[in-house]
Structure 1
Amino acid sequence: MNFGFSFVGLLFLLMLFVPNIIWTKFKPKDYEKFCERENKTLLFLERIGEVLVTCLALFTAIKFSWSLILAIAFILMIIYEIYWFRYFKSNHTMEDMYKNFLGIPLPGATLPVLAFLLLGIYAKNVFLVISALILGIGHIGIHHMHKKELT
Structure 2
Amino acid sequence: MLGHFGFSYVGCIYLLMLFIPNILWVKYKPTGYDAVVSNENKVLLAFERVGQVLVTCVSVIFNDYNLKPFSLWSLWLIVSFILMIIYEISWIRYFNSKHSLKDFYGSFLGIPVPGASLPVMAFLLLGIYGRVIWLIIAITILGIGHIGIHLQYLKECKTGKLW
Which one of the candidate residues 41, 56, 60 is aligned to 2:62? 60
Q: Which ranges of 4 or more aligned residues in structure 1 deviate by more than 4 Å? A: none
Offset at residue 9 of structure 1 (A): 0.2
TM-score (structure 2 length as normaliser):
0.90
Offset at residue 60 of structure 1 (A): 1.1
TM-score (structure 1 length as normaliser):
0.97
Which residue matches 2:100? Answer: 93
Q: Does 1:76 find its partner at 2:96?
A: no
Offset at residue 6 of structure 1 (A): 0.4
Which one of the candidate residues 31, 38, 41 is aligned to 2:40? 38
Q: Does 1:142 find its partner at 2:145?
A: no
Deviations 1:31-62 (A, max 9, x none): 12222101000000000000000000011112
Q: Which structure 1 residue ranges, 5 or more long, are not aligned?
A: none
Cα separation, 2, equivalents of 1:36 and 1:59: 35
Deviations 1:105-137 (A, max 9, x none): 110000000001111111111110010000000
Does structure 1 conserve the Cα–Cα contact (< 8 Å) formed by 2:36 and 2:157?
Answer: no
State the structure with more CA Rg. 2
Identity %: 56
Cα separation, 1, equivalents of 2:76 and 2:63: 16
Cα separation, 2, equivalents of 1:8 and 1:33: 37
Offset at residue 99 of structure 1 (A): 1.2
Aligned length, in residue pairs: 151
Which residue matches 1:23? Answer: 25
Cα separation, 2, equivalents of 1:50 and 1:38: 17
Deviations 1:128-150 (A, max 9, x none): 00100000000000000000011
Amino acid at match of 1:24: V
Amino acid at match of 1:47: R
Q: Which structure 2 residue ranges, 5 or more long, are not aligned?
A: 159-163
- What is the root-mean-square deviation of aligned Cα atoms in Å? 0.8
